[in-house]
Amino acid sequence: MKIYYERGTQELRMKNLRAHKLVQEFNNCAIEVSLKKEKIINELFGTVGVNPSIEHNFHCDLGYNIHVGNHFYAGYNFTILDMAEVRIGDNCMIGPNVGLYTAGHSIEPKDRNKSGYAIPITIGNDVWIGGSCVILPGITIGDNSIIAAGSVVTKDVPTNSIVAGNPAKIMRNI
């Protein structure tokens, strides 16, 4: 389902400011203070399973649209544009420099910067997303799948698949 939003509204600014403050606090935590980092993630995200782990230099738009399952791991420089929901299952691993982007803008240049749209992203259980991948709006990644490093995912990924490339294509089944 596509969600439309107006950039620059007071309500959106306040929600974004709340998220940015929590993200800043998270990114400035000492590395050994994992309980404090987990507490911030629980406050920032919509729902969080047990044992989440996110390395520093994490960024998001709103936070409350992010839902992660049990034993979630994300590497350095993880970015989620969560203007729509992002649901990530249990036992998922995300490499460094990965972007999950629910947001987009009109292809028409007039007023492109004043509004946008967002489409949810869903990632199943036991998914591994390699470093420097981009997952575009509206994508669903099936359980047990692997997204090879450097891939740009423009189409849904079936369960038990390995995809690679730009745009990502199925390389084989697991």
Range of the domain at 115: 3-173
Q: pLDDT tens digit string along 23-50?
A: 999 999 998 888 999 999 999 999 999 9
Q: pLDDT tens digit string along 104-140?
A: 988 888 887 878 899 999 999 999 999 999 999 999 9
Please state the domain count of the chain: 1
d(CA 166, CA 151): 5
d(CA 156, CA 148): 14
Residues with a catalytic annotation lie at 105
Secondary structure (DSSP) of 148-161: -TT-EE-S-B-TTE
Helices and strands: H and E segment counts in the chain: 2, 20
Res 7 pLDDT > 80: no
Q: What is the pLDDT of residue 106?
A: 82
In this prediction, residues 144-164 reach a mean pLDDT of 98
**Residue 99 is part of a domain; what is its CATH number?**
2.160.10.10
